[in-house]
Amino acid sequence: MAHFTKATSVKDWLNQRLAVEKIEKVMASEYWIPKNINFLWAMGMVLVITFALLVVSGIFLLMYYVPTVDEAFYSVNYTIMREVDFGWLWRHIHGVAASVVFLVIYIHMFTGIYYGSYKKGRELIWVSGMLLFVAFSAEAFSGYMLPWGQMSYWAGMVITNLFAGGSLHADGLVEWIRGDYVPAQAFLGRFFMLHVFLLPLAIMALIGLHFAALRIPHVNNQDGEEIDFDAESKKYLDGDKAGSKVMRFANDFMSKDMMVVGIFLIFFFYLVFWNYSFAMDPVNFDPADGLKTPAHIYPEWYFLWSYEILRPFNIDLGLILFGFAQVIFVLLPWLDRSPNAVPANRRGLFAIWFWVMLSNMIILTAMGKLPPEGVFSQIGLVSAVLFVVQWIALPFITAREKKV
C-alpha cells in the first residue's frame, strides 16, 4: 500500500501525491538541450505563444460573436469592432496571429528540413508536426467562414466543392458537408463548432503528441552531431557545465527562447496596432451574397502555393496534384533515402534540392495571388510541374548521397 507521511512543506505534500519534483525534472530541469543550436530552434516556443494569443483573443471574440447567417457579419463588423470596448484589439490580435502563425510554421518546417531533423528517431516529431499543420489549416479555414462576408462565402463554396472529387461528382458528399445545397445556416453552424471547439481541442492534443515525440530523441543541433545525452548530462550534473555539450531546458535554455519570443512579440504587436490590414481582406467587409462572386477569389497567402498547383490543370489532374502537394511533406522521412542527418549545405545535391524547393514555393505563392492570365499562368504551370518533379526526384538524389 502506498505510504504517506505527515508533510513537511507544501512541496512535500504535493510530492507525495503528484510527484511534482520528478515531473519537473523530466520536463524541465533535466530535459537536456544541446548548446549548439541557434535562434531557429526558438520557433516552437514562438508557436506555443502565438497559439495562446489565438485562444485568449478567440475567447473574447466568442462572447459577442453570433453564429447565424443574419447576424454573424454585424456581430463582427459592428458589435465587436465598434461597440465592444477593445473589441477591435481582440479581432486584430486574432486575425494577425492567424496569419503570422503560418509564417512561423513554415520557418519551423523548413528549419527541420534543412537540418535533417526528421530522421533517426525523429520521424514521429515530423509526422505530428505535419498533422498540426493540417489541423491549423482547417482551423484557419473554419475561422475564415465566421464573419460571413463575401470571401467567407465564396471560399466556403469553392473549397467544399473540392470534395466532389472532380469527375467523381460526389455532389452528395458536398451537400452533406454543407448540410444544404449552398453554404447557409447549417454550414455556418457546423464550422463554428469546429472552429471554437473540436479543432482547438485536436490542436492541443497534437501539441501534446509533438512534445512527447521530442522527449526521447531530444532536439537536433546545427552541426548534425550525434550527442550522447546520458554521458553529457552526467558531465553537467557532476559540475563540468562548461565542458558538457548540453544544458538544462529550464531555466537555462528557456531564457534564450523567451528572448526570441520577446522580439517576436514586439514585431507582432507592431502589426496588431499599426499594420493589421494585411490580415483582413477588404472583400470580406461586404456581407455574404450567394448571387454575386467577387472579381477575384484567392485564399489567404499561406494557402496560395498549393492553390497554384491546382489552378493550371483540368479539374481531375489539378485535384490529384493538389492532393499530392497536401500529403507529400508527411512522407519526407521515408522519401529521403540518405543516412545523413546533417545540415543541407553538407549534403551535395540535397542542398540544391532544398533551396530550389524553398524558392519555388515562394514563386508559387506569388503566382497564386496574381490573376490567372498570360505569362503568370505559364510561370505557375512551370513551377507546379517543378514542385512535383522535385518530390519524385528526391529518393533518387538522396539514395546516391555518400555518408559524411
Partner 1 sequence: MHNSSRRGFMGKAFGAVAGVGAVGSLVAMKKTWDPLPSVKAAGFTTLDMSIYKENQLVTEKWRGKPIFVLKKTAAMVASQTDEQKERDIVVDGSHFMLAIGLCTHLGCIPAYKGEAEGFLCACHGGKFDWAGVVTQVPPPRGFDIPPFKIDGNKVILGEVGPEYKQMKETGITL
Which residues contribute to the site for partner 1 (CB under 8 A)? Answer: 154, 157-158, 161-162, 166-167, 169, 175-182, 184, 186, 190, 290-297, 310-311, 313-316, 318, 371-373, 377
Instruction: Give whole-number Cα distances, 79 to 88, 145, 165, 261, 275, in Å.
Output: 10, 18, 39, 32, 22
Asked if residue 73 lies in contact with residue 149, where contact means CB atoms within 8 angstroms, the answer is yes
Asked whether the CA dihedral 139, 292, 278, 375 is positive or negative, the reply is: positive
Comparing CB distances to ligand HEM, the nearer of 37 and 55 is 55
Comparing CB distances to ligand HEM, the nearer of 307 and 350 is 307
* The entry of ligand HEM, partner 1, none that residue 292 binds, CB within 5 to 8 Å by partner kind: partner 1
Running DSSP on this structure, what letter comes out for residue 34? Answer: E
Asked if residue 4 lies in contact with residue 19, where contact means CB atoms within 8 angstroms, the answer is no
* The entry of ligand HEM, partner 1, none that residue 157 binds, CB within 5 to 8 Å by partner kind: partner 1
C-alpha cell at 177: 458537408
Comparing CB distances to ligand HEM, the nearer of 62 and 320 is 62
**Number of residues written out for the chain:** 404
Spatial separation of the C-alpha atoms in residues 219 and 373, rounded to whole Å: 45
* The entry of ligand HEM, partner 1, none that residue 62 binds, CB within 5 to 8 Å by partner kind: ligand HEM
* The entry of partner 1, ligand HEM, none that residue 139 binds, CB within 5 to 8 Å by partner kind: ligand HEM
Minimum separation from the CB atom of position 174 to partner 1 (A): 9
C-alpha cell at 141: 479555414
Instruction: Give whole-number Cα distances, 42 to 109, 111, 219, in Å.
Output: 12, 11, 11
Three-state SS string over 353-394 comes to HHHHHHHHHHHHHHHHHCCCCHHHHHHHHHHHHHHHHHHHHH
Q: Is 313 strand, coil or helix?
A: coil
Comparing CB distances to ligand HEM, the nearer of 200 and 395 is 200
* The entry of ligand HEM, partner 1, none that residue 203 binds, CB within 5 to 8 Å by partner kind: ligand HEM
Spatial separation of the C-alpha atoms in residues 155 and 134, rounded to whole Å: 17
Chain contacts with ligand HEM (rule: CB under 6 A) = 51, 54-55, 58-59, 61-62, 65, 76, 91, 94-95, 98, 101, 136, 139-140, 143-144, 146-147, 195-196, 200, 203
How far is C-alpha 130 from the geometric centre of its chain's CA atoms?
Answer: 8
Comparing CB distances to ligand HEM, the nearer of 296 and 346 is 296
Asked if residue 143 lies in contact with residue 189, where contact means CB atoms within 8 angstroms, the answer is no
* The entry of ligand HEM, partner 1, none that residue 181 binds, CB within 5 to 8 Å by partner kind: partner 1
Q: Is 345 strand, coil or helix?
A: helix
Comparing CB distances to ligand HEM, the nearer of 209 and 247 is 209
Minimum separation from the CB atom of position 304 to partner 1 (A): 13
Asked if residue 305 lies in contact with residue 361, where contact means CB atoms within 8 angstroms, the answer is yes
Minimum separation from the CB atom of position 46 to ligand HEM (A): 14
Minimum separation from the CB atom of position 54 to ligand HEM (A): 4
Asked if residue 121 lies in contact with residue 216, where contact means CB atoms within 8 angstroms, the answer is yes
* The entry of partner 1, ligand HEM, none that residue 184 binds, CB within 5 to 8 Å by partner kind: partner 1
Comparing CB distances to partner 1, the nearer of 176 and 197 is 176
* The entry of ligand HEM, partner 1, none that residue 180 binds, CB within 5 to 8 Å by partner kind: partner 1
Comparing CB distances to ligand HEM, the nearer of 76 and 341 is 76
Minimum separation from the CB atom of position 168 to partner 1 (A): 11
